Structure 1
């Protein structure tokens, strides 16, 4: 089993990602650590499990080492090689804090390639200082000495607040072994003050002490970052603080007992808020929340530093979540990247002539829907921003969990007129993936999730680089207001989905998406005459409306916000803003009848019937309802009664002669097709498993024998058989697993090594394990078993499995789609052992 596609959205946390010097970007994706190398344009390359709850903070420590923390209160140290080997968790510090860890900051000295000192802040009102050390044992990880982290100091915040952001910097040049070493630590969070700690280490003695408290912000501070104005250790240090008050404040830290002269930016900012006193008083801290030039004195080791207000950056219209410095890139000047909930990011530089800080680039979009996620514009704000190691790329995290990426479109690093151009990012679900379904021709994969979106994924080969195809999200057909629970393809260009509402919705592929898939994947577009141009969702609605781009049926109002021109002559998968705005599918039908939330559905192979069920605790509501798709989309009455609790899965046999249902009441039922679209109960087993049945799957018919499998919480997979001589289904085999089985699906193909037909069954479990079983078609006994490697296990339950439909020109390999409770969607390539 080889992973060909890994998709997972990032956690909406400002500190949950960091970009390493070697180009590796790691971010928290639910409980997984996602490894992404943006320059490769192949998406997420690894999903590493280790945390038991959401990851909130990730920090690069140097030489392929990352540290992460989150809601499980643990600190994990990771070794992520540049290429080749899988990443490994090399140390877990259990209960590093007594509450969720919110932020991590690290400092690199002048001599160490690794950031050997880092700090963590948590909701237990504490900040802890840690050291990264290399052990003296002979054990090696990825050809490097094994590293370990050790606690040095615990700081109780006074007055008590939750640290939401930290910044740590070494201020001593230790190139020639000078002692003592000293650091500055800035901390802020659920108040409007910034606390500055000074730390020093002489020999084995080590301590951080509170030195100053900076006033000025009027809301919670969400981000802090230190950056050198010029040459490290020889120039002043700048501290950027971003707040929910919609402003960024810059603070100057100057070495020496005398404070620097006020800059033009500081004077202008003070005048803007009515602060006219520009005197410098080292002994008196600022006593108001207005920017001022009053200085604070710090003592870090033997050196004295002053902290003065430098500049007030205005321009964002909503909360500012992130502020990051870089001195790499054009002109080697310090530049600041800010991201905000107003759906924009800004790049700031000091004007050479006046020293005033100005915006040199504004990326993203302006939208009237501030801080919201809609299908017609806003992506809900940017929660984090990162610079690439060379300073020529930036990425920003959208509220939808997707990363947007921009690069400087210039061959020369000295080109001051270079433009920022949007490049390929990554996307993914941010909540459990509840359903997956391949299109009937296997050209693309549909996934749906409790994050209230349906996404379309397909393989793409770059025209410029060539190489192997890589999988990406190509469209977002449905953005809903309810959690989505199930999905199935309906014909070549339709699908039906069910959500936490009492109805199902049917969607039809528009011309714009058909042309996009044809251009990027080579899939032949269906006849366009019958397709709508595009779709749009009203701001306060749930139904995607068809749009006539030429101004026909929908008019200008219906087409508001939809720009199909962005999908013309595309050469790469669309970015997040296009996905959310221009790739919706119009809704064509609604199917009513159920009294509670839709739990599962299934579509017949000929596309003529849709079977569905809802959550239920009684016989009246646990019925299976059938709907004809032609000519009128009507319900076939009466519904099919049998189950007494929620039906968990519905599957049609390959020839649609039988409908299989399983449920939480521990029984399965087989309904046989009578006349037309009418089904009647053919057989049921009230005690098929000792606990609830969670999934089922039909095997292709071999020698006129019918086979299906059921998966139960009783840790078994049971295989049932019916033959022409004995039409009733009987238990033919039982496969015992070590934990509850949550998903199964069959693939059939003749083996290339023998002439005996084989049945291939994929099995997923509650803990995220996956196995592929080969059953002998004659005896239905397991002839071989292949377990997925430990490095590719899910960090949550496997919720659904789906083999890709095989065509005549397919190779012996097969693709398996995996929907995970951890919010990940994965496609694995199965090769015969």
Structure 2
């Protein structure tokens, strides 16, 4: 304790008064891994710090943290953050009620945990999933397919991708039941990035994109029963694929629904892929369509069939601007329109080891994608960003760096964009080896095995 606090405590002890101790400060840094920070639609940022989950609200300075694992946490994701729509995803119905209730899923080593919470921040249940992975989990991706059913996927260094179903009781405090639906073997080169979406025009079909060490994006299609089959491969990147993210389906030409997939790689580039749904076909024409897929894939790009709908995949844009590995890309969260309708902004946030975050948008007149906003750190101690995230309303962006620090910018402009840095929590992500109060008692100095020192 500080010298001043020590004198007050000593005086209270001599006078026989009761002494009360309460927590007034928590300092924590983010683990030095990708895919371990998630900004929930409820407004809370969750991140892993050593073997704990830390939560904070960037806007209201509310913090809470829970320790529950014996291992260092490697992956973390809000499931509610990924709730975009009901079965008819192209209608854009946004499940706001579920966004405030459920859930976060985290991994420690080869174990998975589910942690539901209530808006009061009281964590009331922890669920450990069956042990399907033999090595560390590298990525998680999920989607609500109904009011009470979620489908999510996990990938691991063991070369296995597992599809899970989570049944969520609608009442507060209800149990979660998790079932393993399917297990996919991806070979010797494991996947490190995942994204899951509902196919436009096919309410009963899901699409799973996975990328990893073989420089390819693997597209799988499946139904809600969890049976996924490989649809196609997307080639173009020349290094590990580190991040994937599907957009909300976008209406094009007044009738066709396009689904966009953005990918980033250690080759320093970002690629935007467009998946266009074709009109439903009859039985005979659908069979003919399947027979021409192989030839069409060489001419126009990969083509696959799900149900009675075919989908043409093409490269929409190649984004070049970062000077180092691009660790994360993320579409801006949908904005609510009148009623339950939602609109997908054509805006992408990227974060790179070059210490920069960029916001990419198509130019209004030409349609070419350009970096409209660039923010970053000039300090040599930043050492690059491991990930970037949007605030649910799109007004703020958050990055976490090599040293466990957070960096946040907020658009404070009225007539035009004006992104300004904001104050965010900081701390150590490795064991703290020593700390001491200043003689004046005005600040606390700490040092850690993460090779950083902090004054508070």
TM-score (norm 1): 0.45
Is 1:70 the counterpart of 2:108 in the alignment? Answer: yes
Match of 2:153 in 1: 119
* Whole-Å separation in 1 of the counterparts to 2:310 and 2:127: 37
Q: Does the Cα contact within 8 Å between 2:167 and 2:176 map onto a contact in 1?
A: yes
- Would the aligned equivalents of 2:248 and 2:334 in 1 still touch at CA under 8 Å? no
Cα distance in 2 between the residues matched to 1:180 and 1:347: 31
Is the 2:256–2:278 Cα contact (8 Å) retained in structure 1? no
Secondary structure, aligned partner of 1:5: coil
The Cα RMSD (Å) is 2.5
Shift of 1:235: 2.8
**1:770-785 correspondence to structure 2 within 5 Å:** none
Report how far residue 455 of structure 1 moved.
Answer: 1.0
Secondary structure in 2 matching 1:7: coil
Contact 2:398 2:406 in 1 (8 A): yes
Determine helix, strand or coil for the equivalent of 1:33.
strand
Structure 2, unmatched stretches of 5+, are 1-20, 81-100, 281-291, 337-342
Q: Following TM superposition, by how much is the alpha carbon of 1:25 offset from its aligned partner in structure 2, in angstroms? A: 1.2
The SS at the match of 1:425 is coil
Structure 2 residue aligned with 1:95: 131
For the residue of structure 1 that corresponds to 2:59, the secondary structure is helix
Match of 2:294 among 279, 283, 295: 283
Give the secondary structure class of the aligned counterpart of 1:10: coil
Query: Does residue 296 of the first structure (1) align with residue 332 of the second (2)?
Result: no
Specify the SS of the correspondent of 1:6. Answer: coil
What is the alpha-carbon distance in structure 1 between the residues aligned to residue 249 and residue 59 of structure 2?
A: 28
The aligned counterpart of 2:373 is 361
Asked if residue 398 in structure 1 is aligned to residue 412 in structure 2, the reply is no
Which runs of structure 2 are paired with 1:646-665 in the superposition (5 Å)? Answer: none
Correspondence for 1:612: none
Distance 1:450 1:93, change over 3 A: same
Kindly tell me: are residues 387 and 361 of structure 1, through their superposed partners in 2, closer, same or farther at Cα, counting changes over 3 Å?
A: same
Equivalent residue for 2:278?
Answer: 256
Size of the aligned set, in residue pairs, is 397
1:744-759 correspondence runs (5 A): none
Q: Within 5 A, what are the aligned runs for 1:387-466?
A: 387-411=390-414, 415=415, 417-457=416-456
Q: Does 1:346 align with 2:358?
A: yes
The answer for unaligned runs of 5 or more in structure 1 is 174-178, 259-280, 288-292, 367-375, 458-833
SS in 2 for 1:39: coil
Structure 1 residues 130 and 147, CA gap change in structure 2 (3 angstroms): same
Secondary structure of residue in 1 paired with 2:267: coil
Name the residue aligned to 2:91.
none
1:268-322 deviation per Cα after TM superposition (whole angstroms, max 9, x unaligned): xxxxxxxxxxxxx8534767xxxxx732112223321111111100000000000
- Separation in structure 2 between the aligned mates of residue 89 and residue 398 of structure 1, nearest angstrom: 31
Cα deviation per residue 1:640-675 (whole Å; 9 max; x = unaligned)?
xxxxxxxxxxxxxxxxxxxxxxxxxxxxxxxxxxxx
In 2, distance between residues paired with 1:7 and 1:145? 32
User: How far apart are 1:200 and its partner, in Å?
Assistant: 1.3
**Do 1:194 and 1:214's aligned partners in 2 also have CA atoms closer than 8 Å?**
yes
**Alpha-carbon distance, 1:430 to partner:** 2.0
Asked if the contact 2:262–2:271 (Cα under 8 Å) also holds between the matched residues in 1, the reply is yes
1:236 alignment partner, SS class: strand
Query: Do the aligned partners of 1:343 and 1:379 also contact (CA within 8 Å) in 2?
Result: yes
Q: Judging changes above 3 Å, is the alpha-carbon distance between structure 1 residues 117 and 21 closer, same or farther for their aligned structure 2 residues? A: same
The match for 1:735 is: none
Cα distance in structure 2, aligned partners of 1:301 and 1:7: 51
Q: 1:2 offset after TM fit, Å? A: 3.3
- Deviations 1:592-625 (Å, cap 9, x if unpaired)? xxxxxxxxxxxxxxxxxxxxxxxxxxxxxxxxxx
TM-score, normalised to structure 2, is 0.81
The answer on whether the counterparts of 1:24 and 1:82 sit within 8 Å (CA) in structure 2 is: no
Partner of residue 634, structure 1: none
Give CA-to-partner distance per residue, 1:423-444, whole Å, 9 cap, x none.
1112111211011111223221
Flag the structure with larger Rg: 1
* Mapped contact 1:24–1:36 kept (Cα < 8 A): yes
Q: Does 1:157 align with 2:186?
A: yes
Q: Runs ≥4 in structure 1, deviation > 6 angstroms?
A: none
Secondary structure of 2:348's partner?
strand
For the 8 Å contact 2:244–2:264, the answer to whether it is kept is yes
For residues 642-791 of structure 1, the aligned pairs below 5 Å read: none
State how far apart, in whole Å, the 1-side matches of 2:210 and 2:69 are.
25
Separation in 2, partners of 1:115, 1:359: 37
Relative to structure 1, is the Cα distance of residues 317 and 387 closer, same or farther in structure 2, using a 3 angstrom cutoff? same
Secondary structure, in 3 states, of the residue corresponding to 1:418? coil
TM-aligned CA deviation for residue 446 of structure 1: 1.0
With CA pairs under 8 Å and 6+ residues apart, which has the higher RCO, 1 or 2?
2
Whether contact under 8 Å (1:58, 1:68) holds in the other structure is yes
How far has the Cα of 1:115 moved from its partner?
6.9
Q: Which string of whole-angstrom CA distances, capped at 9 and with x for unpartnered residues, describes residues 364-406 of structure 1?
A: 045xxxxxxxxx5341101101111111111011111111111
Post-superposition CA distance 1:245-288 (Å, at most 9, x none): 00001100111169xxxxxxxxxxxxxxxxxxxxxx8534767x
Q: Distance in 1 between matches of 2:269 and 2:66?
A: 36
For residues 441 and 152 of structure 1, the distance between their equivalents in structure 2, rounded to whole angstroms, comes to 60
**Offset, 1:134:** 2.5
In structure 2, what is the Cα distance between the partners aligned to 1:187 and 1:206?
A: 16
Task: Report the Cα distance in structure 2 between the residues aligned to 1:245 and 1:84, rounded to whole angstroms.
Answer: 40
Relative to structure 1, the CA distance from residue 364 to residue 286 in structure 2 (aligned partners, 3 Å threshold; closer, same or farther) is: farther
State the shift of 1:98 in Å.
Answer: 0.9
Deviations 1:5-57 (A, max 9, x none): 11111112221121111101111111111111111135xx2221222212221
**In 2 relative to 1, CA 56–84 (structure 1 residues): closer, same or farther, beyond 3 Å?**
closer
Q: Distance in 2 between matches of 1:383 and 1:285?
A: 38
Verify: 1:230 aligned to 2:250, yes or no.
yes
Distance 1:439 1:94 in 2: 49
Counterpart of 2:257 in 1: which secondary structure? coil
3-state SS of paired residue (1:283): helix
**Do structure 1's residue 183 and structure 2's residue 206 form an aligned pair?**
yes
Separation of aligned partners in 1, 2:107 and 2:132: 9
